[in-house]
Structure 1
Amino acid sequence: MIWKLNDNLLNLGKIFHKNGYSIYLVGGAVRNMVLGLDPKDYDLTTDATPEEVMRMFKRVIPTGIQHGTVTILFGCDQYEVTTFRSEGKYTDNRRPESIKYISDLNEDLRRRDFTINSMAIDLKDLKLYDPNSGLLDIKSKLIRAIGNPVDRFEEDSLRLMRACRFASQLGFSIESATLVGISNKASNIVNISYERIRDEFSKILLSQKPSYGLDLLRKTGILKEILPELFNCYGIKQNEYHRWDVYHHCLYSCDASKNILEIRLAVLFHDIGKVDSQKLNSKGRITFYNHELIGADIAKNILTRLKYPNHVINKVNHLIKHHMFNYSSDLSDQAIRRFISRVGIQNIDDLLELKRADIKGFDTDSIDNNINKFVNHINKVKTKDAAFTVGDLNITGNDLYEFANIPKNKDMGKILKELLDVVLDDPSQNYIDNLLKLAKEMYFKK
């Protein structure tokens, strides 16, 4: 193979070689290059100790020096460099108690997680080193743990999710012994921080076909540990309009949605409230009344537990809460204006994307022309000079105070909302003299 490495990286390698040390590109960068993908970052390994690396370069950050890792700032780039090492016992399912510097590259590569991540390229002659047959597993599209899978997952329980994530991102299968090892050690995932679980979960969610990785989490037992709320959707039957149970409907809807984190989270959890809201009506038909409100609260709890940022939590909560909107083709302009006002004009596109994905999740061949008509109707109403929020009114609180003698208190807020209701019904009412007149009538009648 011909490796295309940038000059900055090769020049860094020359400094190591000039000083009598070896230096290799390792990990995900090599895997991606073998796959024909662009490397996202460059991790390096060397026989130089961190102290020796810091003597060779002027700008070095001791990012993980206790584990033999430093970050070199070189040119406009930065490179994480780790000294060849072997590792002591793992007692916390995450980090070794101790490390020992070694001089053998192959031994260093054997301590890594999966064969596809254990290849190295010598920056001197660009030779590929592959002691664990990672190249063969890439050709076979397999995720395989190095050595005994149980040992690898005992060392670092995050590898349980990483295996499923790599399979999802690359479209690979997980080798049978590795899959058994994941299932045997799935309960250890609770020893990993929620932040790290969140990051792996997000990467699965943003893969080309998230349903594949998510279902691997279910089959191996990981999903039950980290997302019992979604796991409990498995086997929950729906009414006759649905082809799938709640769990599969959510996963297939997720596959059909745009690759944007907030949207995929909202789509994945949009029906999660159906487990708690399911009932049989008098005709023996399954119903899920208010599942969107229940689901919005459940999703908020999940995302809070996984420590997502507040703006993500609030966005997802809002989309789920409003996803059961009426989009029939006979809605009036007034109804459309109230819909836009209720959900927020800034959320319209994302909410429509959730609805399209929801429709696809009924049946992958589903097409609903009414949604397209609804979108056209919304766009038509949006182009008109309409007010959808209090801020869109052609009057302000200061105007009410100055010209209508209405004090700046909670009554003013109520009146502004009542004025918005008037304008939502009839946009022609949105001019200041009329609004002042209406405001006085509203206030002085109280």
Structure 2
Amino acid sequence: MIPPRLLRLQAALGPDAQLALVGGAVRDELLGRPHADWDLATALLPEAVMARARTAGLRVIPTGLQHGTVTVILDDEPVEITTFRSDGDYLDGRRPESVRLGVSLAEDLARRDFTINAMAQPLDGSGLVDPHGGQADLREGVIRAVGDPLRRFAEDGLRPLRACRFAAQLGFRIEAATLAAIPARLGVARKVAVERVLVELTKLLTGNHPGTGLEHLCGSGLLELWLPELGPMKGCGQNRHHRFEVWDHTLEVVRLAPPDPALRWAALLHDAGKPGTRTEAGGEVHFYGHEDRSLELAGAILGRLKAGHALTKEVLALVRHHGVHPEPGWGDAACRRLLKRLAEDGLALDRWAAFRLADQQAKGIDDPEREPRHAAVVARLEALAAARPPLAARDLALDGAALMALAGRTGGPWLGALQAQLLEAVLEDPALNTPDRLEPLARGWLASPAGAAPPPGRRGPRPGP
């Protein structure tokens, strides 16, 4: 349903504006999918749009006049309006060098990427404008380029990735000629800014059918172009604890993890180090040290894609701790140490737990006790966390100032070493975390060789000759 505010905008611009809803909004409305953007196209030139909107008392922002786009603020929300246009030559593999304004709506739709995005719904109540069969492709679940796919992909190198992304979001198949055109246009795709690639890959990963999109990336050459470190996972066999090879296991983890950017990126990258660490001895396959190698590769990939700090930090924390599997035989102290490590990385327990469950389920081994065992582990960790045990030096009942006063020393490396020793003690027994009980522990450490103060005037070993 078209929001009333857009109908008010149509009235403000006048019937000759030929205002129409275009692009993804039309597609999602026909599919009944929620969406946030309401992109509009018009026969009016940008100057006329701005003049009429301002006459109606609306705020206008000239966001992209060179491409015929202005933004009108309606009910405190931005709405983009672009003049019907055709595009000139694409030389940078991303944007046209020039645009021609004042063309027909049919010409405007002909420049768009896929048929399902090349429909328009005029706001005057007239019927759907669909010159390229987009509605039929929606019914059949097909992603098809408008016109010649080789030409479409030569214009904009992001379009092949968008095809894979729509397949992941909608569960559609990519039409054969459209899919076959992707490998021939990898050189154009290489020109796309990595920031845009990251956005599209994240949308792909968080779609309802991420495995479909990832398989298209793998088969088309786009994976090798942007995520070459993941290629060796294909065909890398695992051990008896896994039903699937590394790549297929990864697709399963991505599918099973909650559709959240950090969790899905971690799912994609958590076993990237397995192919490089695979060994076989006595008929057993091992991946010793794969967590560290996966962490290294994940950091390199996210850095190359210029991922933000928050996303990178959580993904790396999930990868770092994905191999930790608490067992029923763990003591409370061991569980508190795990909570400490998660806290040091800023990783919430529920996020770690959700990722761990997806990873365990994706092994593909029938185990009716897996979910109950996981739930019991998480419940135990939650109960221990609810008691708010000391997990960092700042949680100690004696702070740094108190410890320096007790030792009669100024700060230095000794202070961190003492705090680590005390923290280890209270992880074993949180009841020790009172000033009266920590003080004798601190004095004992200070009197030991490890805690002895250096002689006056000495700050460490003398330099050699």
1:416 partnered with 2:419: yes
SS for the counterpart of 1:153 is helix
1:72-221 pair list within 5 angstroms: 72-221=72-221
Q: Which amino acid in the other structure matches residue 391 of structure 1?
A: R
Q: TM-score by structure 1 length? A: 0.95
How far did residue 244 of structure 1 move? 1.1
Residue in 2 aligned with 1:317?
A: 316
Describe the SS at the equivalent of 1:424.
Answer: helix
CA distance in 2 between partners of 1:363 and 1:252 (Å)? 9
CA deviations over 1:15-43 (Å, ceiling 9, x no partner) = 2225x322111011111111112332111
Code of the aligned partner of 1:180: A
Q: Deviations over 1:307-339 (max 9, x none)?
A: 111121121112211211132211111211122
Residue 362 of structure 2: aligned partner: 361
Aligned to 2:350: 349
Which residue of 13, 17, 21 maps to 2:14? 17
Query: Is the alpha carbon distance of 1:425 and 1:222 closer, same or farther for their aligned partners in structure 2, counting shifts above 3 Å?
Result: same
**Cα distance in structure 1, aligned partners of 2:91 and 2:386:** 62
CA contact (8 A) 1:404 1:436 kept: no
Aligned length in residues:
441
Aligned 8 A contact 1:327 1:370 in 2 = no
- Cα distance between partner residues in 2 of 1:328 and 1:114: 51
User: What letter matches 1:337 in structure 2?
Assistant: R
What secondary structure does 1:242 align onto?
coil
- Determine what percentage of the aligned residue pairs are the same residue: 37
Question: Partners of 1:365 and 1:96 in 2: how far apart?
Answer: 54
What is the one-letter code of the residue matched to 2:356? K
Higher mean displacement: 401-410 or 430-439 = 401-410
Deviation at 1:117, TM superposition (A): 0.6
- Find the counterpart in structure 1 of residue 37 from structure 2: 41
* Equivalent of residue 52 in structure 1, options 48, 55, 77: 48
Residues 278 and 288, structure 1, Cα contact 8 Å, conserved in 2:
yes
TM-score by length of 2: 0.91
Alignment of 1:365-404 (within 5 A): 366-367=367-368, 368=370, 369-384=372-387, 386-404=389-407
Kindly indicate whether the alpha-carbon contact (under 8 Å) linking 1:406 and 1:412 is maintained by their aligned counterparts in 2.
no
Q: Name the residue aligned to 2:289.
A: 290
Alpha-carbon distance, 1:401 to partner? 2.4
Shift of 1:205: 0.6
Residue 7 of structure 1 is matched in structure 2 by 4
Q: Structure 1's 426 and 38: CA in aligned 2 closer, same or farther, altered over 3 A?
A: closer
| CA distance in 2 between partners of 1:297 and 1:201 (Å) | 20
SS at match of 1:191: coil
Q: 1:27 and 2:20 equivalent?
A: no
Q: Displacement of 1:353 after TM fit? A: 1.6
> C-alpha separation between the residues in 2 aligned to 1:326 and 1:256?
18
Q: Is the 8 A contact 1:252 1:364 kept in 2?
A: no
With over 3 angstroms needed to count, the CA separation of the structure-2 counterparts of 1:319 and 1:38, relative to structure 1, is: closer
Q: How does 1:202-241 map to 2 (within 5 A)?
A: 202-241=202-241
Q: Secondary structure at the match of 1:169?
A: helix
What SS does structure 2 have at the residue aligned with 1:362? coil
The alpha carbon displacement at 1:440 in A equals: 2.1
Q: Identify the residue that residue 462 of structure 2 maps to in structure 1.
A: none
- What residue identity is the alignment partner of 2:53? F
After superposition, the Cα gap between the structure-2 partners of 1:212 and 1:439, relative to the gap in structure 1 and judged at 3 Å, is same
Q: Give the counterpart letter for 1:334 in structure 2.
A: A
- How far the C-alpha of 1:92 sits from its partner, in A, is 1.2
Question: Secondary structure of 1:128's match?
Answer: coil
Cα displacement (A) at 1:427: 1.8
> What SS does the corresponding residue of 2:17 show, helix, strand or coil?
coil
Q: How far apart in 2 are the matches of 1:406 and 1:444?
A: 13
**1:44 Cα deviation from its structure 2 partner:** 0.9
Partner SS, residue 86 of structure 1: strand
Q: Which residue is equivalent to 1:303?
A: 302
The range that moved more, 338-347 or 91-100, is 338-347
For the Cα contact (< 8 Å) 2:243–2:365, is it kept in 1? Answer: no
Q: Which runs of 5+ in 2 are unaligned?
A: 453-465
In 2, Cα distance between the equivalents of 1:77 and 1:127? 27
Alpha-carbon offset, residue 346 of structure 1? 4.4
| Displacement over 3 Å in runs of 4+ | 364-367
Question: How much has 1:126 moved relative to structure 2?
Answer: 4.2
Aligned to 1:444: 447
Structure 1, unmatched stretches of 5+, are none
Matches of 2:241 and 2:157, distance apart in 1 = 41
- Equivalent residue, structure 1, for 2:436: 433
Q: Which has the larger displacement, 235-244 or 374-383? A: 374-383
Structure 1 residues 151-208: Cα deviation after superposition (integer angstroms, max 9, x where no partner):
0000111010111111111111111111111232234321100000000000011111
Give yes or no for contact 2:72–2:81 (8 Å, CA) kept in 1.
Answer: yes
